[in-house]
Amino acid sequence: MQKISRDKLIKKASNLLNSGIVRCVLGWKRGEFDYDITPNVFTTEKELIDDFVWNDFCGANLSKYLVSKTQGVDGKILVFLKPCDTYSFNQLLTEHRFDRERAYVIAVPCEGMADINKIKQITNEGISSIEFNEDTLSISTLYNEEPIKIAYDRVLSERCLNCKSKKHVVYDELLGDDGEILESNRFDEVEKIEKMSSEERFEFWQGELSRCIRCNACRDVCPACTCEKCVFDNPESGVENKASANSFEEKLFHIIRAYHVAGRCTDCGECSRVCPQNIPLHLLNRKFIKDINEFYGEFQAGEKIGMRSPLIDYTTDDIEPNEAVNRRDS
Amino acid sequence: MNIYEEALIPKIGVVTDIRIDTPDIKTFRVVTPDGKKAFEHQPGQCAMLSIPGVGEAMFSITSSPTNKDFMEFSIKKCGCVTEWLHSLELGQEITIRGPYGKPFPVDTDFSGKSLLFIAGGVGLAPLRSVINYCRHYRDRYGKIDIVYGSRSKEDLLDYKEIVEEWANDNGVNVYLTIDNPQKEWDGHVGFVPNYVKELNFDRDKIAVLCGPPIMIKFTLDALQALGFDKKQIYTTLELRMKCGIGKCGRCNVGAKYVCKDGPVFRCDELSELPDEY
Amino acid sequence: MVKFSCEKIDLVFAEIAKTAALYIPSNDKNNKAVFTKWQKGTKLCDSHNTQIGPKDLFFPQTEDLMAFKASNKKIEIIDTRKESEDFVIFGVRACDVKSLEILDRVFLSEPRDSYYAMRREHGIIISLACTRPSEACFCTTFGIAPSEPGADISVWKINNEFFWQANTKRGEELLLKIEHFTTPAEPSEVEGEKQRISVLMKRLPLANLSTNGFGKGKTNELFEREEWAKLSEACLGCGTCTFVCPTCQCYDIKDFNTGNGVIRYRCWDSCMYSDFTKMAHGNNRNTRKERFRQRFMHKLVYFPENNNGLFGCVGCGRCISKCPVSMNIVKVMKKLGGNV
Amino acid sequence: MQVNEFKPLIVAFCCNWCSYAGADLAGNNRLSYPADVKIIRVPCSCRVNPMFVLRAFQRGADGVIICGCHPGDCHYTSGNYYTRRRMTLLFSMLDYLGIEKERTRVEWVSAAEGAKFASTMNDFVSKITQLGKNKRLEDLRCKK
């Protein structure tokens, strides 16, 4: 369960709204059920009290919305950011995607977000309500008399199990206590794949990527994908295909997508969260992050504003491409 | 094998004549490889032309249905398909399918009436087929007035046909206008909507409009100022189309599909539709 | 009506698969139900519904329409259509059965789409009554009865038995093929289950969602509503909802130059995409709000307008569980229809 | 009689200022390398967008090699340093996706190294010939 209460967030936001310091509040809005939460812009205290939520399903990274929401309007917009979201925020600022002065960042500590898919694997469909307790979620369904109790760590989303940082790298105001940058095991899964044989890797990715329906959710949710005209929407790019016509197209799309955000991806994990086909897209991005770390030195995108991406940089003694791919085998 | 006719599979057309009308408009004559008309059509209908590998696009058929030998398309260069068409040579094969859309009601609502055609720029293209149809069956209609405007004299489409044929017809009046004064132009200068107002037409007729959206908008106002009812005014719409048969889902305005229920709309029907065109 | 015990289902599947390709809902390695081509060992899963409906067995995400060969100034058109193989889909829920009726209205109306029609003619659909609807289900809103799933054969699973009821001639023929596994049953034997499902449906969280305020003739009333701006605010403009939707059928036609010819293919397209209506000189749906509005207006107003009041949504709930920002048709209906 | 009939299609992106001239020199010196190598001249190795490599495979290439000036010798000062990083990451990703790592290569060949150009190509072609047809990154639509 999240340690900071919803009320505390609402109170903070209301104060800033009522005092005129911020014009509106970018936060999470309650849905039909206890887990379907929509990013929303709140403009009054009443709206906040009625609809604002802060719970274990507020996974959505709000930083990308600032690109559109800060445009063409005066005043500041309050945004609630979890630690991982602050990296995206910095990265967007690094790329001059919006004006820092337009955002008022409230840093919210995060205990990790639950993955509704993992919950449904346990409870099955038919969830009628979810109660948040200290270490467990208590889930009532249409088909069980008694609520099902599930420990958090069983349903924590993959990205939170491998959380890289509980520390907010940017904020105007912090609620609660800030955490630390963590030693995470986030590259374990990548290493596991690297250890496979070439055939096994091929089979693995073929199986994963063949499920892609090219809905573009991964691209559209990605805080690093803010091009005004995406290469996949440009008929002159030669890759403007709306469907994965075959396995080549599937690979092409995902290689290009991961490559375009290489050196800029903060590993927020939104791509895997939104994928309707449950493709572990973060494993592509993490591969690039891991390679960059190994070949060019540790680099965490979004850690500071104005960092130079390793892909627009070089040293005279960089590793040779042929050597890089052969090294792993030896 | 039980394979039906498939609307999406086109026929081959051969370009047998290319007329350069204006700096950015060419008129293409298309027949089948054995020299026939690809299909019959009615005035105002469209056809899908394509160049494999480049794309497919919808164009209105400029020639009159009374022409039984070939079809013509006046096409302005503005996108990748049109650019390719503009660069092609005589004898080039393209693909063609159609006819698509609802035609102008030339044999019902128009019959016996006086007609006023108002066109701007390449907007003359769809109207030319109606005008020539009505000229062919001259006795079925009353007076015919044609107001046609473009940016400059060079941009007037079918200038020769207009001056040498249409203007000499009995009971056909042609009013040409260009946007800005120009040497060797002694005709009217000014925008179409204002010209329509100046000409002060009687409202005992049916008006048919086609041109850039902004021209249509202001001409509609001008006509209404002259006392025309929206029921007396027809226009044609153009939106993105892919299938031409009301299935691919993009050319709709409200519940109407331009490719199937249009492109010809009466203005009172149009004002019932949401403002999304 | 016939029945057989659940243990025999693999035998029945094997029998059907002898003469036609058989697709059944089965779990993939992520434990997600997908329509899978049956082969020995493919297990029927008991998930409530598949990730994506059976739409793509009739209207594949990508399919070749024709091919061209061009040389000098000549073009040759190659009709690449092939007769579809016979296939059977088992386990289609009532909502998805209805979705095919909606697709039929589009693809089988004149001029009929031969690619779709061909698959439709060769596909036999065996439905399956719901036993455990999800919280996101709202098919009853559109008058669909999950206890009467319909299609060529209706199937109920009650305790340890399957009950199969043929509804069409094709269904009867199929039942004959599996005759030796079945024993006759009385329709009264499934009555209790039907009752149970109907009662269950009333307990679902979205059971009271109504279509009031939508349908034929509501275009102008709903189009200008200012709520669209707020509703579309969070929308990412991705195509998830349209691609998982069993009734979304917009498509694009594109040419692919293979280097030695051109393939003209069609693929699913989404009205949520920014270039959906873009043409050489403009775009009539330029903003996200307009595109968002188009999708819901199409399902709730335009489609009924053109199809005697039939709504373009079947309440399967897929968009509810799949939307990255959890914005969906239910929220739209509640906001605009006034049934909070 | 030759057992292996397979003739690979190799695409070589060659920098105008060095490797392309190197290929010329190889020709002038009558050093032979297989005709299966199709050279595409680029103004600098860093002109090679990773897309080009993928596109070459789609269109039927069995191997792709990028040749540029030796590090430090770029005509534009630093182009090949960028190439080096880009291709490192691209090749590593292709390898990660299970595409045979032997199918891609970067070599630095100067205008004076005609012999190196020929031997590099000979070596690359023979490696690809051993490896066989590119099956994992092919587009069936592009096959005749």
B54 to chain C: which residues are within 8 Å by CB?
Answer: 255
pLDDT at C340 over 60: no
Residues of chain A contacting C240 with CB distance shorter than 8 Å: 215, 217, 274, 276
At A71, list the tokens. Answer: 């445009």
Three state DSSP letters for chain C: CEEEEHHHHHHHHHHHHHHCEEEEEEECCCCCEEEEECCCCCCCCCCCCCCCCCHHHHCCCEEEEEEEEEECCEEEEECCCCCCCCEEEEEECHHHHHHHHHHHHHHCCCCCCHHHHHHHHHEEEEECCCCCCCCCCCHHHHCCCCCCCCCCEEEEEECCEEEEEECCHHHHHHHHHCHHHCEECCCHHHHHHHHHHHHHHHHCCCCCCCCCCCCCCCHHHHHCCCHHHHHCCCCCCCCHHHHHCCCCCCEEEEEEECCCCEEEEEEECCCCCCCCCEECCEECCCCHHHHHHHHHHHHHHHHHHHCCCCCCCCCCCHHHHHCCCCCCHHHHHHHHHCCC
Say yes or no to pLDDT of B29 above 80: yes
Cβ neighbours of residue D43 closer than 8 Å, sequence gap 6 or more: D15, D16
- Distance from the Cα of B12 to chain C's closest Cα (Å) equals 7
Give the CATH number of domain B114-236: 3.40.50.80
**Chain D residues lying within 8 Å of C263, measured CB to CB:** 141
Class of domain B11-99: mainly beta
- What the block records as the tokens of C29 is 């390695």
Residue C93's φ and ψ, nearest 5 degrees, are -75, 165
CB nearest to C263's CB, from D59, D141, D144? D141
Domain with CATH 3.40.50.80 in chain B: 114-236
Among candidates D85, D87, D139 on the partner chain, residue whose Cβ is nearest the Cβ of A246: D139
D touches C, CB cut-off 8 Å, minimum 3 pairs? yes
With beta carbons under 8 A apart, name residues in chain B contacting C284.
239-240, 253, 276-277
Specify whether A170 is located in the same domain as A235: no
Residue B139 is which amino acid?
D
**Which of A314, A326, A328, A330 has the highest number of chain D CBs within 10 A, making it the mutation to test binding with D?**
A314
Each residue's pLDDT tens digit, B42-74:
999 999 999 999 989 999 999 999 999 999 999
Token digits of residue A198: 């070439």
* Cβ contacts of B213 within 8 Å, gap of 6 or more: none
Domains parsed from chain D with CATH numbers: 10-142 (3.40.50)
* Residue-wise DSSP of D9-22: -EEEEEETTTHHHH
Could you tell me which residues come within 8 angstroms of residue A308 by beta carbon, excluding any fewer than 6 positions away? none
Tell me the CB-side half-sphere exposure of residue A197, using CA atoms within 13 A. 2
Which is nearest to A81 in space by CA: A205, A206, A165, A188? A165
pLDDT for res D3: 56
Cβ atoms of B258 and B239 within 8 Å: the answer is: yes
- Token reading at A137: 């979620």
Average pLDDT, chain A: 92
Q: Are residues A288 and A260 in the same domain?
A: yes
Same domain, A236 and A89: no
The reported pLDDT for the residue numbered A233 is 86
Which residues are registered as beta bridge partners of B209? B118, B235
Q: What is the mean pLDDT of residues D124-144?
A: 89
* Predicted confidence (pLDDT) at residue B1 exceeds the cutoff of 50: no
Mean pLDDT of D49-60: 93
The answer to whether C253 contacts B242, with C-beta atoms less than 8 Å apart, is: yes
User: What are the start-end ranges of the E strands in chain A?
Assistant: 24-29, 38-42, 77-81, 103-107, 127-132, 136-141, 148-151, 173-174
Which of A40, A125, A217 comes nearest C324 by C-beta?
A: A217
Tell me the C-alpha distance between C247 and C300, whole Å: 12
Considering the domain boundaries, does residue A181 fall inside one? no
Residue of A40, A124, A277, A281 to mutate for C, most C C-beta atoms under 10 A: A277
Task: Give A205-262 pLDDT, tens digit per residue.
Answer: 999 999 999 999 999 999 999 998 888 888 777 777 677 768 888 899 999 999 999 9
**C-alpha distance from A150 to closest chain D C-alpha (Å):** 36
Region of B23 (left: φ > 0; alpha: ψ -120 to 50; beta: rest) is: alpha
For residue C252, give the nearest of B242, B95, A246 by alpha carbon.
B242
For residue C107, what is the nearest residue in chain B, using CA coordinates?
Answer: B247
Range of the domain at A131: 117-152
List phi, psi (to 5°) of A247: -65, -25
**In this complex, which chains have at least 3 CB pairs below 8 Å with chain B?**
C
Output the pLDDT for position A330. 52
Chain C environment of B249 (Cβ under 8 Å): 249-251, 269, 271, 298
Substitution target in A25, A67, A209, A213 with the highest count of C β-carbons within 10 Å is: A213
- Determine the distance from the C-alpha atom of residue B88 to the mean position of all C-alpha atoms in its chain, rounded to a whole number: 22
Q: How far is C1 from chain B (nearest CA, A)?
A: 32
Q: What is the pLDDT of residue C339?
A: 53
- Can you give the C-alpha Rg of chain A in angstroms? 21
The residue in chain D having the minimum alpha-carbon distance to the alpha carbon of residue A198 is: D98
A208 & A249 share domain = yes
CB contact under 8 A, C273 and A216: yes
- List CB contacts (< 8 A) between A236 and chain D: none
Whether residues A221 and C237 touch (CB distance < 8 A) is answered with no
pLDDT value, residue C283: 84
Contacts of C254 in chain D (CB under 8 A): none
* Paired tokens of B267: 């203005």
**Which of A199, A222, A184, A2 lies closest to A91 in space, CA to CA?**
A222
Instruction: Using DSSP, state whether A292 is helix, strand or coil.
Output: helix
* Contact assessment for residue C316 and residue C95, using Cβ atoms and an 8 Å cutoff: yes
φ, ψ (nearest 5 deg) of residue A152: -55, -45
Looking at the structure, tell me whether residues A84 and A204 fall in a common domain.
Answer: no
Chain D residue closest in CA terms to C67: D141
Q: Two tokens at C262? A: 């051109």
CB < 8 Å to D90, chain A: 255, 259, 321
Q: Per residue in B181-214, pLDDT tens?
A: 888 888 889 899 989 888 888 888 999 999 888 8
Name which residue leads in pLDDT, C16 or B2: C16
* pLDDT above 70 for A163: yes
Q: How big is the A-C interface in CB pairs under 8 Å?
A: 124
Q: What's residue D86's pLDDT?
A: 95
Picking from D52, D88, D96 by the largest number of A CB atoms within 10 A of its own CB, the best residue to mutate is D96
Verify that A272 and A293 share a domain, yes or no: yes
Query: In which residue ranges of chain B is CATH 2.40.30.10 found?
Result: 11-99
* Residues whose CB is less than 8 angstroms from the CB of residue C10 and which lie 6 or more positions away in sequence, other chains included: none
Q: Tell me, what's the pLDDT at B168?
A: 86
pLDDT of A329: 60
Q: Do B247 and C223 touch (CB under 8 A)?
A: no
In whole angstroms, give the CA distance from residue C312 to residue C329: 11
Q: What are phi and psi of C71, to 5 degrees?
A: -145, 135
Interface test with A, best of C28, C30, C276 (most A CBs within 10 A): C30
The whole-angstrom distance between C25's CA and the closest CA on chain A is: 15
Whether residues A130 and A105 fall in one domain? no
For residue A247, what pLDDT is reported? 85
Residue B46, pLDDT score: 93
- DSSP 8-state class, residue A308: P
**Closest CA in chain A for residue C251:** A242
CB contact under 8 A, B255 and C219: yes
For the stretch A47-94, pLDDT in tens is 999 999 999 999 999 999 999 999 888 899 999 999 999 999 999 999
How many whole angstroms from its chain centre is CA C331? 21
Task: Considering only the C-alpha atoms of chain C, give the largest distance between any 2 of them, rounded to a whole number of Å.
Answer: 71
What is the C-alpha separation between C136 and C124, in angstroms, rounded? 28
Is the same domain home to A29 and A170? yes
Segments in chain D forming alpha helices (H)? 19-28, 50-58, 79-96, 114-131
Contact assignment for B274 to C220 by CB distance below 8 Å: yes
Coil vs helix vs strand at A165 = strand
Tokens 């639509």, located at residue: D141
Chain A residue with Cα closest to D54: A252
Q: Which residue of A has its CA nearest to D70?
A: A316
Instruction: Please answer whether residues B49 and B59 qualify as being in contact, where contact means their C-beta atoms are separated by less than 8 angstroms.
Output: yes
Asked whether C71 and C83 are in contact (CB, 8 A), the reply is: no
Nearest CA in chain C to A214: C239
Cα–Cα distance, A263 to C128 (Å, whole number): 49
How crowded is residue C48: how many other Cβ atoms within 10 Å of its Cβ? 20
Q: In which element (H, E) is residue A95 found?
A: none
Q: How many CB pairs under 8 A join B and C?
A: 135
- Kindly state whether C286 is in contact with chain B, defined as any CB-CB distance less than 8 angstroms: no
> From the list D54, D91, D138, which residue is nearest A325 (CB)?
D91
Partners of A143 on chain C (C-beta within 8 Å) are 132
Chain D residues closer than 8 Å to C259 by CB = 59-60, 142
| D89 to A256: CB separation less than 8 angstroms, yes or no | no
Residue of A nearest to D94 (CA): A255
DSSP B39-95: ----TT-EEEEEETTTEEEEEE--S-TT--S-EEEEEE--SHHHHHHHH--TT-EEE
Distance, CA of B28 to CA of A273 (rounded, Å): 53
Å from C92 to nearest chain B CA? 24
**Over residues A107-118, mean pLDDT:** 94
Half-sphere exposure of B128 (CA within 13 A, CB side): 25
- Which residue from A153, A173, A119 is spatially nearest to A4, judged by alpha carbons? A173
Residue B104, Cβ density class (10 Å: 0-12 exposed, 13-18 middle, ≥19 buried): buried
> Which residue is associated with the tokens 């590090």?
D71
Sequence spans of domains, chain C: 2-60+82-203, 219-250+270-337
Residues 136-155 of C with CB under 8 A from B: none
Which burial class, exposed, middle or buried, applies to B201 when counting CB atoms under 10 A from its CB (0-12, 13-18, 19+)?
buried
Adjacent-strand bridge partners of C153: C126, C166
Counting one residue from chain C and one from chain D, the pairs whose CB atoms sit within 8 A come to 10
Mutation to test the B interface, candidates C75, C223, C267, most B Cβ within 10 Å: C75
> Interface partners of C (3+ CB pairs, < 8 Å)?
A, B, D
Per DSSP, the three-state class of A306 is coil
Chain D, 83 to 112: residues with Cβ < 8 Å from chain A are 84-101, 104-106
Order of strands across the sheet that contains A148-151: A127-132, A136-141, A148-151
Rounded to a whole number, what is the distance in Å from the CA of D76 to chain C's nearest CA?
Answer: 34
| Residues B57, B60, B63, B69, Cα dihedral to 10° | 40
Are A246 and A272 members of one domain?
A: yes
Phi, psi of A321 (to 5 degrees): -55, -45
Residue B26 CB neighbours (<10 A): 20
Name which of D97, D138, D141 is nearest A205 (Cβ-Cβ): D97
Q: Is residue A50 part of a domain?
A: yes
SS3 of A274, please? Answer: helix
Does residue A168 form part of some domain?
yes
Same structural domain, A167 and A307: no
Cα separation values, C290 from A242, B129, B272, C74, Å: 20, 34, 18, 42
Q: How many structural domains does chain A have?
A: 3
The answer to whether C58 and C100 are in contact (CB under 8 A) is yes
pLDDT over 80 at B102, yes or no: yes
